[in-house]
Amino acid sequence: MNDPRGLTCFACGEVNTPDSRFCKFCGRALVQEQRERPNVASDPRNRFLLWLVLILIVACALFGIFGVLTSKIFR
């Protein structure tokens, strides 16, 4: 991130001098033009996996509830 006062470190968020190559607070390398982080949720593959996991969790919960109810009924 470019700041009028200098470069902002992505790791710790501290502002460093414009000519710095490493953060004076955490030691991480500073990059002049840092790219924005990609939006993970916008990737269709990640969205599919998220829905799949959500459906599996709901299915397990429903089967668990159903199993408990049927075991109490048939005792």
Spatial separation of the C-alpha atoms in residues 41 and 5, rounded to whole Å = 33
Q: Give the pLDDT of residue 1.
A: 47
Q: Looking at per-residue confidence, does 31 or 17 come out higher?
A: 17
Spatial separation of the C-alpha atoms in residues 4 and 33, rounded to whole Å = 14
Residues 3 and 30 in one domain: yes
Residue 71 — pLDDT band, cuts 50, 70, 90?
confident
* Residue 43 main-chain phi, psi, to 5 deg: -75, 120
Residues 42 and 60 in one domain: yes
Residue 36 — pLDDT band, cuts 50, 70, 90?
low
* Token pair belonging to 49: 């996996």
Residues 20 and 53 in one domain: no
Domain span including residue 68:
38-75
Spatial separation of the C-alpha atoms in residues 69 and 56, rounded to whole Å = 20
pLDDT at 5 exceeding the cut of 60: yes
Amino acid at 48: F
pLDDT at 10 exceeding the cut of 90: no
Residues 47 and 33 in one domain: no
Task: Please give the tally of structural domains in the chain.
Answer: 2
Residue 33 — pLDDT band, cuts 50, 70, 90?
low
